[in-house]
Chains A and B, each alone.
Chain A
């Protein structure tokens, strides 16, 4: 069974540019969450989408946006990139149920902003 898949795995951008990261959840999972992991820190919550609706947003500026498609895949967009946006961006999926709150993570997209 395929796990959470993310693309691209690595990318380099310059300040001011825009980036789009993509995520496909585990088959059957309707919830997708995005996290940012800066070197030396734990993952920080950015967004959660469930059934194509935003259900939660972390403390990130409006330059960060996301959406979820009918097939439950998701995109994270970051505009006007800053050097501080350099990080590992993780996508996680879950079935959205309360029986277990485990999230299943992809391998991440490593973004470097120069």
Chain B
């Protein structure tokens, strides 16, 4: 039962353009959302997060948008750079759940080409 879904396994974007990665969730108890980036042979690296009391959080080139009514969030990368090429995981934390437990999507492979 996949409670966090990333329906696009891959995304290809030209350098300088915007990358938009999407994520949907089903559990209404999720109240904190995170994006991780993963390079081959490395562990996931935390990128940006958002609490359910907000609808937007920005950090440099990265912005996460949350639409609670649609149970949807997205990560925008502007401008995209070749070094952004990696697998991006959407993750969620549930209210009342153990703090070390995150629910991950299957990931989206982002490729940024020159």
On chain A, the number of residues with a Cβ less than 8 Å from chain B's Cβ atoms is 31
Cβ of B80 under 8 Å from chain A: no
Once the chains bind, are A102 and B106 in contact (CB under 8 Å)?
A: no
The reply to whether B43 and A4 contact each other, CB–CB distance below 8 Å, is yes
Closest to A9 in B: B41
Return 17 A-B CB contacts under 8 Å, by A number. A33-B100, A33-B101, A41-B106, A42-B4, A42-B91, A42-B104, A42-B105, A43-B102, A44-B104, A45-B103, A48-B98, A55-B98, A94-B100, A104-B46, A105-B36, A105-B43, A107-B41
- Write the residues of chain A forming the contact surface with B, with a CB cutoff of 8 angstroms: 4, 31-33, 40-45, 48-50, 55-56, 58, 90, 92, 94, 96-98, 100-108
Q: What residues of chain A lie closer than 8 Å to B106, measured between beta carbons?
A: 40-42
- Is there an interface contact between B97 and A56, defined as CB atoms closer than 8 Å? yes
- Minimum C-beta distance from A104 to chain B (A): 7
Q: Are B43 and A107 in contact (CB under 8 A)?
A: yes
